[in-house]
Structure 1
Amino acid sequence: MYKIGEALIGDGPELAHIDLLIGDKNGPVGQAFANGLSTLSVGHTPLTSVIRPNLMTKPATLIIPKVTVGDLEDASKIFGPAQTAVARAVADAVEDGYIPKEDVEDMVINVSVFIDPSAKDFRKIYQYNYGATKLAIRRAMEGYPSIEKVLAEKDRGTHPIMGFRVQRLWAPPYLQVALDLDNLDVMERILADLPNKERVLIEAGTPLVKKFGVGVVGKIRELRPDAFIIADLKTLDVGRVEVKMAADETADAVAISGLGTLESIKKAIHETQKQGIYSILDMMNVKDFEEKLSAIPDDLKPDIVLLHRNVDLETWIKEHGGNTEGMTEWGNIEKIKEITGSLVAVAGGITPDNVEEAIDKGADIIIAGRYIIGSRDVRRSAQDFLAHFGPDPDNMRLAMDEDENIAEDENNSEEKK
């Protein structure tokens, strides 16, 4: 038997990150303990954790430095505050009932400790490592996090050291702003004016990509580091190459033309899966798209199906006195979701006046182009749409909204008693 725990506590160079294994002396953790204690490694030599010299904690605990110990100053941080912090946290975990007293002689703990070489404050090193070790033990013994917690947080959490967010489309609806432009200065002005919200997705439109190349995605990323960026390539052939090019420029999604052959579509979607980005299948001018979508294997269904009205056709009909009502395929949204399980985006003639109708019919992504990018007040025009969307999914969350459920913890504590 062995259990795994992890915790990060603190801030600045003194922050503590703990990884640990708890298990039987006669099992794999015990073997790792013995190997670690008897193996010398330059700069990473493990040491037993003691409350004070000549008083080893129980269960016996091995500290493994994650960062190279380069000199005596680095060593003093490990042998002093970190060593004592870990030892006391282990003893307190026994006293608090997380580790049964009757098991302490049969168990060992291996603790990996991170100490930044630039850390100076010994008090903080002690405090943070004590808290992180005790929390990691508690989490290990309780099996935290549950798989439900992992799945709920996987698309929401951010790593503090990364410095940027990776957005996933987990809580529609979203507003996709199509930058169908041929001017970089205008693009930069629009991006500066667009609301910086999670619900706003940015599309590098086909004209933009054709004039400036797929590298324009990288330019957008420089201006909006945390944005969800779509490369509207309308890929028809050699999708693997084009998708990889867009992924290399940090695109979050690539639009593939539904007019391509089934083989081309499958290859392009396979490449998006390989690159870890979203696939968008644009069904513009595809006559029997339900049949085509059904022909795509389940494991290669697109992440997003785009129901796209042809702008040139719409203009021609209007010029000849025709009625463009019903040109969207909004009535087919639920059928498409039934076939593919995908999100559905709608584009073509959508304004704030009819956006709620599209959402009510099941649209997950509303694509707006001319209404926003052709406006003198880009921010106001975008807000006209966003007023129908509600707040960003995470705007009410606390910065550290990742804690264990208190009620569950209280129940676990009662069981221990």
Structure 2
Amino acid sequence: MNYPRIGEALVRGERHRLAAAEPELMIGDLNGPVGVAFANLLGGQVEGHTRVLALLNADVAVKPATLMVSKVTVKKNKYTSILMGSVQAGIAHGVLDAVRDGTIPRDQCEKIGIIAAIWLYPEVVEATDLDYEDLFNTHRKSMHLAIKKAMSGEPTIEWLLENQDKIVHSYHQKGLDGKL
């Protein structure tokens, strides 16, 4: 299998706008550049950009080893609780879903690692009606989809060239205050 692989996916919340998920990831051999990056990121914590393993629970890490890196500067405990709660569990389940359906070959689970940049709306800390099940589900689905896209090489360069002028970036029209 050729590594590294790069993927991303956007899944909008079914019940709450703030539940949207958009992981960006790299999958590769732990004995190669991805493994070096994995070790450097996990060992080189940076204030405000927490790096944690994807866990099913406090002491159950998934395989392939998956490192979550926050794209947003973490400033509040509530954000950390959401990131290391519903989101972390959703990411972990999405990885295992990809193993279960064969997207990630089982014989590769000890050899490869995943580094996933994870994004949450910063406003989640202010929400009083956040749907944690929706948050979990969108991160599970988006991680699984991002892995599928990475492992299958999607989008292809042919598709990108054919559709380049048909795709409008979400924030191009709406700005940073736009709603996804």
Tell me the TM-score normalised to structure 2 length: 0.88
The number of residues matched between the two structures is: 164
**CA–CA separation in structure 2 for the residues paired with 1:90 and 1:73:** 24
Deviation digits for residues 227-265 of structure 1 (CA, Å, limit 9, x no counterpart): xxxxxxxxxxxxxxxxxxxxxxxxxxxxxxxxxxxxxxx
Q: Which residue does 1:21 correspond to in 2? A: 26
Deviation at 1:68, TM superposition (A): 0.9
> Is structure 2 residue 174 aligned with structure 1 residue 141?
no
Deviation digits for residues 33-71 of structure 1 (CA, Å, limit 9, x no counterpart): 101110121110200010112111000000000001111
Q: Which residue does 1:115 correspond to in 2? A: 120
**Partner SS state of residue 8, structure 1:** coil
2:136 to 116, 126, 131: 126
* Residues 77, 115 of structure 1: 8 Å contact kept: no
Deviation digits for residues 288-338 of structure 1 (CA, Å, limit 9, x no counterpart): xxxxxxxxxxxxxxxxxxxxxxxxxxxxxxxxxxxxxxxxxxxxxxxxxxx
> Is structure 2 residue 44 aligned with structure 1 residue 44?
no
Deviation at 1:124, TM superposition (A): 2.0
Q: Which moved more, 1:146-155 or 1:56-65?
A: 146-155
Q: Which residue does 1:6 correspond to in 2? A: 8
Q: What is the identity percentage for the equivalent residue pairs of Structure 1 and Structure 2?
A: 37
**CA–CA separation in structure 2 for the residues paired with 1:110 and 1:125:** 20
* Residues 49, 57 of structure 1: 8 Å contact kept: yes
Deviation digits for residues 165-209 of structure 1 (CA, Å, limit 9, x no counterpart): xxxxxxxxxxxxxxxxxxxxxxxxxxxxxxxxxxxxxxxxxxxxx
Higher relative contact order (CA 8 A, sep 6+): 2
**Partner SS state of residue 144, structure 1:** coil
1:59 to 56, 64, 85: 64
> Is structure 2 residue 86 aligned with structure 1 residue 84?
no
Deviation at 1:121, TM superposition (A): 2.5
**CA–CA separation in structure 1 for the residues paired with 2:84 and 2:120:** 11
**CA–CA separation in structure 1 for the residues paired with 2:171 and 2:133:** 23
Q: Which residue does 1:160 correspond to in 2? A: 170
Deviation at 1:160, TM superposition (A): 2.0
Deviation digits for residues 7-49 of structure 1 (CA, Å, limit 9, x no counterpart): 1110522211110000000111111110111012111020001
**CA–CA separation in structure 1 for the residues paired with 2:81 and 2:27:** 26
RMSD, aligned α-carbons = 1.1
Q: Which residue does 1:386 correspond to in 2? A: none
**CA–CA separation in structure 2 for the residues paired with 1:117 and 1:20:** 20
1:96 to 92, 96, 101: 101
* Residues 48, 56 of structure 1: 8 Å contact kept: yes
Long gaps (5+) in structure 1: 165-417
